Amino acid sequence: MKLQDTIAIVTGSSSGVGAATARQIAAAGGKVVVNYASKEAAAHQVAEECRALGGQAVVCQGDVSDDSACQKLVAVALDAFGGLNCLVNNAGTTKFNAHENLAGLTDADFYRIYGVNVVGPYQMVRAAESALRAAKESVVVNVASIAGVRGVGSSIAYAASKGALITMTQSLARVMGPEVRVNAVCPGFIEGDWLAEGMGQDVYDRSLASLRARTPLQTVCTPETVADSIVGFITAHGVVTGQHLVLDGGHLLL
């Protein structure tokens, strides 16, 4: 698929990886639905940036754990752009909790994290299925995490949810072909405010310095480098489906 032909919904695109992905699609002349759950002003700013880059963009509020919001997102894409051939399931949430602190996670924490990170992508694919199949050469990219590969990360609930998303990527790939390819990216540490706020600045700074010193590539992800790989799955890899790509500067090798 050529990026300029892309009509995409990018969930959770008011900041971070989602915003970077929306901007890359728009910069090539693509069309994008910018989605947010609570950060309305930030989402409209991203949409303005997309338009300034030469693309088309509309904004749609919705929490993907709510099935009606997922259906609304697809309806907005169809109304605004007349079709849909790309879905980037980027929206995610977590609770920062040390893995050894088993008492620190409640059942409500698990339900909320799974609702956004696992049920949300499923509901988005289900809502978009007809439109994606009708486009005949469509792509779904799920934003998972190295947490789902290694069982690490902000909390056990988060790691488990991302592992489930990787498994679901395989399941969906089997049934969405031949019209739709379904793949996932699995970023490691992503430089930016989200991790800094969740981890605390001191822990964030020490973790960043350690990874830059120890990984084979001596680097970590940024929202833009993760977006690069998402765009790669959209525009290339035409015979690839059901796969997950680890983006971590080689941290998995340690």
Q: In the prediction, which pLDDT does 58 show?
A: 98
The domain locations on the chain are 3-189+223-248
Domain 3-189+223-248, CATH number (from 3.10.20.30, 3.30.565.10, 3.40.50.720, 3.20.20.60): 3.40.50.720
Q: Mean per-residue pLDDT for 226-234?
A: 98
What value does the mean pLDDT of the chain take?
Answer: 97
Residue 234: which pLDDT band, with cuts at 50, 70 and 90?
very high
Q: Is 29 exposed, middle or buried (0-12, 13-18, 19+ CB in 10 A)?
A: middle
Catalytic residue selected from 36, 114, 122, 158: 158
Per residue in 49-103, pLDDT tens? Answer: 999 999 999 999 999 999 999 999 999 999 999 999 999 999 999 999 999 999 9
pTM above 0.95, yes or no: yes
Q: How far apart are CA 90 and CA 193, in angstroms?
A: 16
Q: How far apart are CA 148 and CA 156, in angstroms?
A: 10
Estimate the share of the chain in helix, then strand, then coil, as percent rounded to the nearest 5: 55, 15, 30
How far does Cα 25 stand from its chain's mean position? 14
Q: In the prediction, which pLDDT does 144 show?
A: 98
Residue 31: which pLDDT band, with cuts at 50, 70 and 90?
very high
Q: Is 41:92 a contact under the CB 8 Å cutoff?
A: no
Q: In the prediction, which pLDDT does 7 show?
A: 98
Q: Mean per-residue pLDDT for 199-221?
A: 95
Q: In the prediction, which pLDDT does 14 show?
A: 98
Q: Is 122 an annotated catalytic residue?
A: no
